[in-house]
Amino acid sequence: MRPLRTSIMINLVLFGPPGAGKGTQAFKLKAHFDLVHISTGDLLRSEIAAETKLGLEAKSIMDAGKLVPDHVVIGMIREQLKSNPDAKGFIFDGFPRTTVQAKELDNLLTEYNTEISLMLALEVQDDELIRRLLLRGKDSGRADDQDQRIIAARIKEYNDKTAPLIQYYTSQGKFKSIKGVGAIEEIFQNLVAEIAAIS
Protein backbone atom coordinates (compact mmCIF):
# COMPACT_ATOMS: atom_id res chain seq x y z
CA MET A 1 0.00 0.00 0.00
CA ARG A 2 1.29 3.46 -0.83
CA PRO A 3 1.88 5.60 2.27
CA LEU A 4 -0.44 8.54 2.60
CA ARG A 5 1.17 11.76 1.42
CA THR A 6 1.34 13.93 4.51
CA SER A 7 4.21 16.23 3.63
CA ILE A 8 3.40 19.65 2.27
CA MET A 9 5.08 20.77 -0.93
CA ILE A 10 7.49 23.70 -0.91
CA ASN A 11 6.80 25.80 -3.99
CA LEU A 12 9.05 28.82 -4.33
CA VAL A 13 8.99 31.74 -6.71
CA LEU A 14 12.57 32.96 -6.97
CA PHE A 15 12.15 36.54 -8.00
CA GLY A 16 14.34 39.45 -9.02
CA PRO A 17 15.62 41.38 -12.02
CA PRO A 18 17.97 39.81 -14.59
CA GLY A 19 21.36 39.32 -12.99
CA ALA A 20 20.02 39.16 -9.41
CA GLY A 21 21.45 35.66 -8.94
CA LYS A 22 18.25 33.62 -9.28
CA GLY A 23 19.90 30.80 -11.26
CA THR A 24 22.83 30.48 -8.84
CA GLN A 25 20.59 30.35 -5.79
CA ALA A 26 18.02 28.08 -7.45
CA PHE A 27 20.78 25.55 -8.09
CA LYS A 28 21.71 25.51 -4.39
CA LEU A 29 18.11 25.50 -3.12
CA LYS A 30 17.20 22.64 -5.45
CA ALA A 31 19.94 20.46 -3.93
CA HIS A 32 19.22 21.53 -0.34
CA PHE A 33 15.45 20.96 -0.36
CA ASP A 34 15.29 18.32 -3.12
CA LEU A 35 13.02 20.43 -5.33
CA VAL A 36 12.46 20.52 -9.08
CA HIS A 37 13.97 23.66 -10.63
CA ILE A 38 12.03 25.20 -13.51
CA SER A 39 13.69 28.09 -15.35
CA THR A 40 11.59 29.38 -18.24
CA GLY A 41 14.69 31.13 -19.63
CA ASP A 42 16.59 27.79 -19.71
CA LEU A 43 13.59 26.03 -21.26
CA LEU A 44 13.35 28.69 -23.96
CA ARG A 45 17.09 28.49 -24.67
CA SER A 46 16.74 24.69 -25.06
CA GLU A 47 13.97 25.25 -27.59
CA ILE A 48 16.24 27.66 -29.50
CA ALA A 49 19.15 25.19 -29.44
CA ALA A 50 16.84 22.44 -30.75
CA GLU A 51 15.62 24.85 -33.44
CA THR A 52 11.96 24.09 -32.70
CA LYS A 53 9.18 26.30 -34.07
CA LEU A 54 8.65 27.72 -30.60
CA GLY A 55 12.37 28.37 -30.23
CA LEU A 56 12.60 30.17 -33.55
CA GLU A 57 9.67 32.40 -32.63
CA ALA A 58 11.02 33.15 -29.16
CA LYS A 59 14.57 33.93 -30.29
CA SER A 60 13.98 37.32 -31.85
CA ILE A 61 11.89 38.42 -28.86
CA MET A 62 14.56 37.29 -26.41
CA ASP A 63 17.31 38.89 -28.45
CA ALA A 64 15.43 42.18 -28.18
CA GLY A 65 15.20 41.85 -24.39
CA LYS A 66 11.39 41.61 -24.47
CA LEU A 67 9.12 39.10 -22.77
CA VAL A 68 7.78 36.20 -24.84
CA PRO A 69 3.97 35.88 -24.88
CA ASP A 70 2.33 34.64 -21.67
CA HIS A 71 0.65 31.61 -23.27
CA VAL A 72 4.04 30.28 -24.46
CA VAL A 73 5.64 30.19 -21.01
CA ILE A 74 2.43 29.10 -19.28
CA GLY A 75 2.28 26.11 -21.65
CA MET A 76 5.84 25.20 -20.68
CA ILE A 77 5.03 25.37 -16.97
CA ARG A 78 1.94 23.22 -17.47
CA GLU A 79 4.12 20.57 -19.15
CA GLN A 80 6.71 20.69 -16.38
CA LEU A 81 4.11 20.24 -13.65
CA LYS A 82 2.60 17.31 -15.53
CA SER A 83 5.93 15.58 -16.05
CA ASN A 84 7.03 15.81 -12.40
CA PRO A 85 4.16 14.19 -10.48
CA ASP A 86 6.36 13.04 -7.59
CA ALA A 87 8.10 16.36 -6.97
CA LYS A 88 8.42 17.49 -3.37
CA GLY A 89 8.03 21.00 -4.66
CA PHE A 90 9.15 23.41 -7.35
CA ILE A 91 11.44 26.39 -7.68
CA PHE A 92 10.05 28.75 -10.30
CA ASP A 93 12.97 30.79 -11.63
CA GLY A 94 12.19 33.63 -14.04
CA PHE A 95 8.48 32.78 -13.86
CA PRO A 96 5.99 34.33 -13.32
CA ARG A 97 7.01 37.61 -14.97
CA THR A 98 3.55 39.15 -15.49
CA THR A 99 0.35 39.27 -13.48
CA VAL A 100 -1.34 37.01 -16.05
CA GLN A 101 1.39 34.42 -15.49
CA ALA A 102 1.11 34.70 -11.69
CA LYS A 103 -2.65 34.17 -11.76
CA GLU A 104 -2.32 31.24 -14.13
CA LEU A 105 0.35 29.68 -11.92
CA ASP A 106 -2.01 29.94 -8.94
CA ASN A 107 -4.75 28.24 -11.00
CA LEU A 108 -2.44 25.48 -12.16
CA LEU A 109 -1.15 24.75 -8.67
CA THR A 110 -4.72 24.64 -7.35
CA GLU A 111 -5.38 21.85 -9.87
CA TYR A 112 -2.58 19.94 -8.14
CA ASN A 113 -3.96 20.74 -4.68
CA THR A 114 -1.02 22.89 -3.79
CA GLU A 115 0.04 26.54 -3.86
CA ILE A 116 3.00 28.93 -3.82
CA SER A 117 4.62 28.84 -0.38
CA LEU A 118 6.82 31.89 -0.70
CA MET A 119 8.02 34.49 -3.17
CA LEU A 120 11.68 35.27 -2.47
CA ALA A 121 12.87 38.46 -4.12
CA LEU A 122 16.60 39.06 -4.54
CA GLU A 123 17.30 42.79 -4.30
CA VAL A 124 20.23 44.15 -6.34
CA GLN A 125 20.77 47.69 -7.62
CA ASP A 126 20.74 48.40 -11.37
CA ASP A 127 24.45 49.29 -11.72
CA GLU A 128 25.44 46.00 -10.08
CA LEU A 129 23.00 44.06 -12.31
CA ILE A 130 24.53 45.58 -15.46
CA ARG A 131 28.04 44.79 -14.24
CA ARG A 132 27.12 41.16 -13.51
CA LEU A 133 25.25 40.62 -16.78
CA LEU A 134 28.11 41.97 -18.91
CA LEU A 135 30.51 39.71 -17.02
CA ARG A 136 28.22 36.70 -17.53
CA GLY A 137 27.88 37.56 -21.22
CA LYS A 138 31.63 37.12 -21.69
CA ASP A 139 31.48 33.50 -20.42
CA SER A 140 28.02 32.33 -21.44
CA GLY A 141 27.94 33.72 -24.94
CA ARG A 142 24.33 34.77 -24.31
CA ALA A 143 23.59 37.53 -26.81
CA ASP A 144 21.16 39.20 -24.41
CA ASP A 145 23.93 39.54 -21.79
CA GLN A 146 26.46 41.20 -24.09
CA ASP A 147 24.70 44.31 -25.28
CA GLN A 148 24.03 47.24 -22.94
CA ARG A 149 20.89 48.23 -24.88
CA ILE A 150 19.39 44.74 -24.59
CA ILE A 151 20.25 44.65 -20.89
CA ALA A 152 18.54 48.02 -20.44
CA ALA A 153 15.46 46.71 -22.29
CA ARG A 154 15.32 43.65 -20.02
CA ILE A 155 15.56 45.78 -16.88
CA LYS A 156 12.81 48.04 -18.27
CA GLU A 157 10.57 45.02 -18.96
CA TYR A 158 11.23 43.90 -15.40
CA ASN A 159 10.31 47.27 -13.92
CA ASP A 160 7.21 47.70 -16.12
CA LYS A 161 5.73 44.20 -16.16
CA THR A 162 7.37 42.05 -13.50
CA ALA A 163 7.97 44.30 -10.48
CA PRO A 164 4.17 44.73 -9.97
CA LEU A 165 4.13 41.08 -8.88
CA ILE A 166 5.67 42.20 -5.60
CA GLN A 167 2.28 43.71 -4.82
CA TYR A 168 0.50 40.55 -6.01
CA TYR A 169 2.43 38.32 -3.61
CA THR A 170 2.46 40.88 -0.80
CA SER A 171 -1.33 40.86 -0.81
CA GLN A 172 -1.17 37.07 -0.41
CA GLY A 173 1.28 37.48 2.51
CA LYS A 174 3.96 35.55 0.59
CA PHE A 175 6.52 38.20 -0.37
CA LYS A 176 9.97 38.19 1.24
CA SER A 177 12.78 40.51 0.25
CA ILE A 178 16.36 39.23 0.48
CA LYS A 179 19.55 41.23 -0.03
CA GLY A 180 21.06 39.85 -3.25
CA VAL A 181 24.50 41.42 -2.81
CA GLY A 182 27.32 39.81 -0.84
CA ALA A 183 28.70 36.28 -0.56
CA ILE A 184 26.68 33.63 -2.44
CA GLU A 185 26.69 31.39 0.63
CA GLU A 186 25.43 34.15 2.91
CA ILE A 187 22.57 34.98 0.53
CA PHE A 188 21.75 31.27 0.35
CA GLN A 189 21.62 30.94 4.15
CA ASN A 190 19.25 33.92 4.33
CA LEU A 191 16.98 32.23 1.76
CA VAL A 192 17.10 28.93 3.67
CA ALA A 193 16.16 30.74 6.90
CA GLU A 194 13.09 32.27 5.25
CA ILE A 195 12.01 28.90 3.86
CA ALA A 196 12.63 27.15 7.17
CA ALA A 197 10.41 29.71 8.87
CA ILE A 198 7.38 28.56 6.86
CA SER A 199 7.99 24.79 6.77
Which residues are identified as catalytic?
22, 97, 136, 142, 154
Instruction: Tell me whether residue 18 or residue 89 sits nearer to ligand AMP (CB atom).
Output: 18
CB 78 to ligand AMP: min, Å:
13
Give the three-state DSSP class for 183: coil
Asked whether position 44 contacts ligand AMP by CB under 6 A, the answer is: yes
**Cβ neighbours of residue 114 closer than 8 Å, sequence gap 6 or more:** 8, 9, 11
Distances (CA, A) of 61 to 13, 64, 82, 143: 23, 5, 27, 12
Select the span of 9-17, 47-55, 89-97, 132-140 touching ligand AMP (CB under 6 A). 89-97
| Least separation in angstroms between CB 183 and ligand AMP | 23
Among 15, 90, 95, 169, binds ligand AMP (CB under 6 A): 95
Least distance in angstroms from the C-beta of 98 to ligand AMP: 7
Taking the complex as a whole, the smallest distance from the CB of residue 109 to ligand AMP amounts, in Å, to 16
By the rule CB under 6 A, 133 interacts with ligand AMP: no
Q: Which is nearer to ligand AMP, 44 or 178 (CB)?
A: 44
Alpha-carbon span 176 to 195, nearest angstrom: 10
Binding site for ligand AMP (CB under 6 A): 18, 40-41, 44, 61-62, 65-68, 73, 94-95, 97, 101, 144, 154
